[in-house]
Amino acid sequence: MSTPDLAALVDGMRRALDGGPPVAPLPRLTTHLPPSGTALVVRTSGSTGTPREVALSAAALRASAAATADRLNAPGRWVLTLPPTHVAGMQVIVRSLLAGTPLTAAGGGPFTPDGLADLLAAPLAGDDPVHVSLVPTQLHRVVEAADGGAPAALDALARCGAVLLGGAATPPRLLVRARDAGVPVVRTYGMSETAGGCVYDGVPLPGVRVRLDAAGGDAGIVEIAGPVLASGYLGDDDATATAFVDGPDGRWFRTSDLGALDRDVLRVIGRADDVVVTGGVNVAPAAVESVLGELLGVEVCVVGVPHDEWGQELVAVASGPVGARHADEPTRPAARRAPTGWGEGAELARVRSAVAARLGPAAAPRRILRVQNLPLRGPGKVDRAAVVDLVRARPAHD
């Protein structure tokens, strides 16, 4: 988005928060009028199918921003590195407007660590605490640049008041590496329907409640209540009635995620509809991705593809070329790395052994595919359907 467009969007959002017409950062998908009080119409990522339009009231946006400021102990000065076409980017704009501090925003062009360092320089020279929202892909590139001898962006993040990290699961090794460098990472969980992140490091923001709809066992569907909830989906009353349920203890939004609660701290396991059945055993891809993220130190997506013997075959798709270093190995020159393709031999054996030891043999991927970058849908969200298509289109002998 160009600077003039961003300026107009910020001005429109300012007026919408004060009762003006609602803002829609992307062209509308439907002609349905949003309900009274709506300040923002934003699209879902479409990870469960066709994107929907979500109506967020000014009250919900204000409640979310106030709760974030409360949790971070200061409103602070916000830096925008995410697309303002999605709820995470729009929330940075809202927080900045309500804090009354200048918004610093990236210009056009792709995200780069050097660009982030330059963007943070002026805000960090001031007195206000500086907050920034990133997705794991961005943080991974910052850490990778630092490990390659360009630490400016990582050093700048370490001087921030808070670095909110959301939009996708964070590989554990990436989180440890960033925190060891002094980066004040706060993992966030939320979605368009909850006005963005509403659970920070597993703990709900003030006013937000979390529960599980569990049919036995420790895990269940995550449900969220609180003043941050959207009014509903525009033009889809059935979907609204299914997802947003009123009860004696308030209005709840039923997510599509599986989670577990340990002493009231939420741990998101993965999407409820992502479970892969292989050889008659249910496997949660998110659990496998967590193990592989620790082992490989890169982004990983695990999917199931049809298989004559197993019903579904578990395949891990990892960013970076075959032979790329593991997280606990020394850096090797890029020229020595093999092209992207199917991982075999020692790498596949190491992957299968590590996963089997932690999660059982059924969870061990039978193949691993290295690609330069995982396909994305929205800011930082892996497009799992596109990953499945990628696996099907790549013969195993490549």
DSSP state of 382: B
Distance of alpha carbon 276 from alpha carbon 153, whole angstroms: 38
Render each residue's pLDDT in the chain as its tens digit; 398 residues.
344 489 999 999 999 999 999 999 999 988 999 999 999 999 987 655 578 999 999 999 999 999 999 999 988 999 999 999 899 999 999 999 999 999 999 877 889 999 999 999 999 999 999 999 999 889 989 999 999 999 999 999 999 999 999 987 787 888 999 999 999 999 999 999 999 999 999 999 999 999 999 765 678 999 999 999 999 999 999 999 999 999 899 999 999 898 999 989 999 987 777 778 888 777 888 889 888 988 888 889 999 988 877 888 999 999 876 554 444 443 333 333 334 677 667 788 989 999 999 888 989 999 999 998 898 876 767 888 899 899 988 876 55
Q: How many helices (H) and strands (E) does the chain have?
A: 11, 21
Q: Are the C-beta atoms of residues 189 and 211 closer than 8 Å to each other?
A: no
CB count, 10 Å around CB of 4? Answer: 8
pTM value is 0.77
Identify any residues that bridge with 134 across adjacent strands, giving them in sequence order: 165
State the DSSP H helix or E strand holding residue 200, giving kind and residue range, or none if neither: strand 196-200
Distance of alpha carbon 113 from alpha carbon 267, whole angstroms: 29
Q: Are the C-beta atoms of residues 90 and 13 closer than 8 Å to each other?
A: yes
- Rg (C-alpha) for the chain, rounded Å, is 21
Does 275-393 match 3-193 at the fold level?
A: no
> What is the CATH code for 275-393?
3.30.300.30
By residue count, the chain amounts to 398
CB neighbour burial string for 269-295, b if at least 16 within 10 angstroms, e if fewer: bbbbebbbebeeeebbbbbbbbbbbbb
Q: Are the C-beta atoms of residues 376 and 168 closer than 8 Å to each other?
A: no
> What is the CATH code for 3-193?
3.40.50.12780
Distance of alpha carbon 184 from alpha carbon 202, whole angstroms: 15
Distance of alpha carbon 192 from alpha carbon 283, whole angstroms: 27
Distance of alpha carbon 139 from alpha carbon 176, whole angstroms: 12
Tokens 């039923």 appear where?
254
Domain boundaries, the chain: 3-193, 275-393
Identify any residues that bridge with 305 across adjacent strands, giving them in sequence order: 313
